[in-house]
Structure 1
Amino acid sequence: MFVEQEWILKRAALTPHHIALINLTSKEQWTYQQLSEEIGKWSQFFERQQLQKGSRVAVFAKNHIQLFAVLFACGLRGLIYVPLNWRLSKEELTQILEDATPAILLYEEDSHCPLVLEKMFSLYVSQHEKEIQPSRQDVDVNDPWLMIYTGGTTGQPKGVVLSFQSVNWNAMNTIISWGLHAQDRTLNYMPMFHTGGLNALCIPLLMAGGTVIIGDKFDAEEALQATNQYQTTISLFVPTMYQAMIATKYFQENQFPSMKVFLSGGAPCPHPIYDAFYNKGLFFKEGYGLTEAGPNNFYIDRERAYAKKGAVGKSMQFNEAKIISHTGKSCAPGEVGELLVRGKHMFRFYWNNKQETANILQDGWLKTGDLAMMDAEGDFYIVGRRKEMIISGGENIYPQEVEQCLLRHPDVREVAVIGVGDDYWGEIVTAFIVCPHQVASLIDDLNELCHQQLGRYKIPKQMIFLDELPKTSVGKIDKKALYRLVDSSIC
């Protein structure tokens, strides 16, 4: 009888000789049959360790195709796969390990695994028996498969528990709604401790029988060259990666004929990035998701995205979305409110945190904490985080609107806008700006641009120039670090 965790073995039986995975750095590649064999080795290893169903398997490693074998072996054994963000400090990692209480830790020999982890776990796996068939455990669709810890940029990291149903429905919904198939290829640089690196395109494409090329340390020119070399058809990058890519000579001088669409996620994408791709006749669009849901929730046709910059489209075939006001009523078209989603792709619960689970899951809907707007045609736009909304002089200001305005200036490379406390206004709009070279009249130019495009209350009262903006471990602009920068300058 077919069970939830065995679809990868079925895929290997259907297309055993098709290439499943390619490691970009080493050029190592596995067919689906080889992936199945590697899964079997890890499954038997876990059995020898006498790990019980529900035990957590912590993994401390950079991107590599071997991680998929570990992930799927955990599924076969009913174990919970817990990828660790190797960019965190010892204190942060210790906090996560104390919360997850894993039964075993796997890490790369050359990964410089923090000493605190070595003290807690001394097991390192380097050899496996060959030609061993996968060993199975009975699991339920609601049993946990992955536990991904949130980045912690707004507070203490939480273990987001994803069941077999969560992961598989996200994959199936993505395949059907986005039209993925076995001829599709994706290049993934998103870290595999992040839902974007696992669930956005990698697992859906493996379910569909496609090919996943795994990169580790992002390099803009390398990524573009690999796009052409491996003839990828759809790939996900975050806006800061795209910013680096469009600045390369390789991007300017080359076409990418195999690409059906470049997909942006993780944060709202600056419109000049759209323009850079559209000017080359390339399709580009945005998606939206979060660790607790998907991360895939919407679909927009690539031609439609061309006419509607910033739109993420409509909810996918097997999930729903709505926008509600602060009173709980559905918002009218054009009205900004909080985005709620629901579907079988949602997470099960936060590990050891019933209260936070109850706060975010209400009446079957997940409260995303993101602000959104729907137009008259039913297409959704993500406006920003509810917690990031600025209230200045009693007026609501959405940072993304100010950021998109400032990015229209050709000398501005990156922008982040936050609200800084002020005794008179409550908060004042503060813009952090990166430009390739200092322009004497830039501030005057930006003020004039803002006066043309924005209401007066939205215009930044402070503009701070930086060599680069701080980034999180997945390449997003770290606004929490900007708040700390402001606080330290005040002190």
Structure 2
Amino acid sequence: MDWIKSRACLFPRDRAVVDAATGREWTFEDVNSRAEKLAAYFHQHGIKKGDRVALLSPNDISYFDFLFACMKSGAIFVPVNWRLSGEEVLYILQDASPSLIGVHHSQTLSRRESKGCLVLPIPNDQYVEELNVPVQSTSQELSEDSPVAMIYTGGTTGKPKGAVLTYDSIRWNGLNTIVSWNLCKEDTTLTCLPMFHTGGLNALSIPVLMAGGTVVLSPSFEAEQAVNDLIRYHCTIALFVPTMYHMVIRTKTFQKATFESMKVFLSGGAPCPLSIYQAFHQKGLNFKEGYGLTEAGPNNFFIHPDEAVKKPGSVGRAMVFNDVKIVKENGEESSEGEVGELLLRGQHVFSFYWNNPQATQESLQDGWLHTGDLARQDQEGYVYIVGRKKEMIITGGENVYPLEVEHWIASLEGVNEVAIVGVPDEKWGEVVTAFVSLQPRSMLTEIDLRNHCALKLSRYKTPKTFQIIEDLPKTHVGKIDKKALRDHYASNNL
């Protein structure tokens, strides 16, 4: 069951993890030994199977230390979003009630936040070696449904929820990704996405390690540095969110680079503007889009880069070991081209929400995960994400899917980013509102944007209001924060 130990036994000297900031490297033997010692530390301090163990840290080797130590000890790993406010961190810690929390030297923890739990300082990457604890066999025999990690959702529509991932769900996400995406021990990925998020931890980092490849950790994202790291470490595959790609494709290094070792660039976390597809296609680089969520993997689809060129915006078809279904409001499956809610099924799906049985019951029904995302399927079975069910705008009785409008406005030269939201209106119920940021030196006006919409969009889909702002607000994982935009609109229109 302990696959990191097995990997260390089979290929002890293979490079597993690199810290891009310091250049320090760890082999699989190193990674396993660190986890064994940390697991022994947990045992020494009375941490039992099922106890929560939290970590407050930027991307760092400690994420693998804690996750694999929890796999060995039976504790539940809880990575905490260090970018949150003190009150938000406090909410998560009170909800998870960890017995121990590791705190990276770059982070601070108040007495309120640390109340009732043991604090393990992480002053440097040698903190495990410095623990005064004898390594002994403390491994717990885990069943397939034993909780191993609890990752909190973004909380953009309410309080964050702790999605509990079992040993089986993490393992099957890894195996499904390896088999479907053809990962191997020659692969190297750069992890810039925050590892307190499933995209940073489970999308590529764990599957690449499971396949025997190398994970290069970057503690933060800076576009020019990220491109340099991709080249320096001969990366073969990488995942960024669209906001990151917006910055990457504008760097001088990207424009000059050939990326000879890169097999494919992946986009996830949010629907990707077609302009980013075009930037990679023009350089002859493989680029494709994926889809996932904390509660499911997060990997669920595969599309070959050649098909991604023909079907931009599609996330592809279901991977080898999971099922996909799109259903209408009445529960019947949607027909070809018909929009419905996306449902997922597989052993990679989360087990339950911590302390929230009602939300669990709403999300998991008859073996299917109801994602809350809207999608459609073409005649060849390729899936396109249309948007969030909660973000669909109903104006004057007509349904408007924000992504369609966003893609069209983003195609206008001079537009940087765009977000479409529905705001309350007495007459129409909701009105379509556009928030647009422009590229440097762009002279576009609201009239230009409105005229562009008139070329393709129906009148009810055309935004009633255009707000040109300098930058669109982002969530802690780099997604455009539509809740903040609605709040901004409301506060400016009281």
TM-score (norm 2): 0.96
CA offsets 1:348-396 (integer angstroms, 9 cap, x no match) = 0011111111111111000000000000000000000000001111110
Alignment partner, residue 402 of structure 1: 405
Name the aligned partner's letter for residue 119 of structure 2: L
In the alignment, which residue of structure 2 is the partner of 1:148? 151
Note if contact 2:188-2:235 (Cα within 8 Å) is conserved in structure 1: yes
Unaligned regions of 5+ residues in structure 1, if any?
Answer: none
Match of 1:36 in 2: 32
Q: How far, CA to CA, are the matches of 1:301 and 1:130 in structure 2?
A: 48
> Is residue 163 from structure 1 mapped to residue 159 from structure 2 by the alignment?
no
> Given residue 241 of structure 1, which amino acid in structure 2 is its aligned partner?
M
Aligned to 2:197: 194
The answer as to 2:491 corresponding to 1:485 is: no
Q: Does 1:454 align with 2:457?
A: yes
2:99/2:118 contact within 8 Å kept: no
C-alpha change, 1:44 and 1:364, in structure 2 (3 Å) is same
**Residue from 256, 263, 266 that aligns with 1:253:** 256
In structure 1, the partner of 2:187 is 184
Map 1:11-22 to 2 at 5 A: 11-22=7-18
Distance 1:134-1:69 versus aligned 2 partners, 3 A rule:
farther
* Of 82, 88, 93, the match for 2:84: 88
**Alpha-carbon distance, 1:457 to partner:** 1.0
What residue identity is the alignment partner of 1:424? Answer: K
CA separation in 1, counterparts of 2:483 and 2:24? Answer: 39
In the alignment, the residues of structure 2 paired with residue 393 and residue 365 of structure 1 have an alpha-carbon distance, to the nearest angstrom, of 33
SS of residue matched to 1:197: helix
- Is 1:240 the equivalent of 2:250? no
Deviates more, 1:37-46 or 1:174-183: 37-46
Per-residue CA deviations over 1:32-86 (Å, capped at 9, x if unaligned) read 1111111111011111111111000011111101220121011100000001111
- Retained in 2: the 8 A contact 1:166–1:294? yes
1:278 aligned residue: 281
AA partner of residue 54 (structure 2): A
1:190-339 alignment runs, 5 A limit = 190-339=193-342
RMSD between superposed Cα atoms in Å: 1.3
**Distance in 2, Cα, partners of 1:162 & 1:414:** 34
SS in 1 for 2:492: helix
Please state how far the C-alpha of 1:440 moved relative to its aligned partner. 4.9
Query: How many angstroms does 1:327 deviate by?
Result: 1.0
Conservation of the 8 A alpha-carbon contact between 1:11 and 1:32:
yes
What residue identity is the alignment partner of 2:409?
A: L
Distance 1:105 1:37, change over 3 A: same
Q: Would you say 1:79 and 2:75 are equivalent positions?
A: yes
Rounded to whole Å, the distance in 1 between the matches of 2:357 and 2:294 is: 17
Partners of 1:20 and 1:299 in 2: CA distance? 25
| Change over 3 Å in CA distance of 1:114–1:281 after alignment to 2 | farther
Find the aligned partners of 1:91 and 1:155 in 2 and give their Cα distance: 14
Does the Cα contact within 8 Å between 2:287 and 2:305 map onto a contact in 1? yes
Q: Does 1:472 align with 2:475?
A: yes
* Aligned partner of residue 473 in structure 2, secondary structure: coil
The match for 2:22 is 26
Q: Which amino acid aligns with 2:213?
A: G
Equivalent-residue separation in structure 2 for 1:220 and 1:304 (angstroms): 27
Distance 2:290 2:49 in 1: 35
AA of the residue aligned to 2:60: H
Counterpart secondary structure, 1:124? strand
Is the CA contact (8 Å cut-off) linking 1:433 and 1:463 kept in structure 2?
Answer: yes
Task: Tell me which of 94, 103, 122 is aligned to 2:99.
Answer: 103
Matches of 2:354 and 2:118, distance apart in 1? 25
Counterpart-to-counterpart distance in 2, 1:378 and 1:308: 12
Task: From the superposition, tell whether residues 190 and 114 of structure 1 become closer, same or farther in structure 2 (CA, over 3 Å).
Answer: farther
C-alpha deviation, 1:186, in angstroms = 0.4
Q: Secondary structure at the match of 2:34?
A: helix
Give me the identity figure in percent. 50
Tell me how far apart the structure 1 counterparts of residues 134 and 409 of structure 2 sit (CA, whole Å).
58
User: Which residue of the partner structure matches residue 124 of structure 2?
Assistant: none
- The number of aligned residues is 487
2:391 maps to amino acid? E
Q: Does the Cα contact within 8 Å between 2:169 and 2:348 map onto a contact in 1? A: yes
The residue type paired with residue 422 of structure 1 is D
Distance apart, 1:249 and its partner CA: 1.1
SS of structure 1 residue aligned to 2:59: coil
**Structure 1 stretch 85-94 or stretch 476-485: which is displaced more?**
85-94
> What is the distance in 2 between the residues matched to 1:206 and 1:355?
35
> Partner residue of 1:7?
3
Is the Cα–Cα contact under 8 Å of residues 40 and 134 in structure 2 kept in the other structure? Answer: no
Q: State the AA in 2 paired with 1:20.
A: A
Counterpart position of 1:341: 344
CA distance in 1, matches of 2:134, 2:177: 33
Instruction: Tell me the residue number matched to 1:62.
Output: 58
Q: Structure 2 vs 1, CA of residues 198 and 136 (structure 1 numbering), >3 Å: closer, same or farther?
A: same
Residue 441 of structure 1, CA deviation: 5.0
Alpha-carbon distance, 1:109 to partner: 2.8
Deviation at 1:135, TM superposition (A): 2.7
Taking a change above 3 Å as real, the CA distance of residues 134 and 233 of structure 1, as seen in their structure-2 partners, is: farther
CA contact (8 A) 2:78 2:151 kept: yes
- Aligned residue among 161, 170, 175 for 1:172: 175
Work out whether residues 90 and 116 of structure 1, in 8 Å CA contact, stay in contact via their aligned partners in 2. no
Offset at 1:159? 0.7
Aligned amino acid, residue 233 of structure 2: Y
1:47 matched residue in structure 2: 43
Partner residue of 1:362 out of 345, 361, 365: 365
Q: CA deviation at 1:132?
A: 3.2
Q: Secondary structure at the match of 1:456?
A: coil
Moved more, 100-109 or 22-31: 100-109
Q: TM-score, normalised by structure 1?
A: 0.97
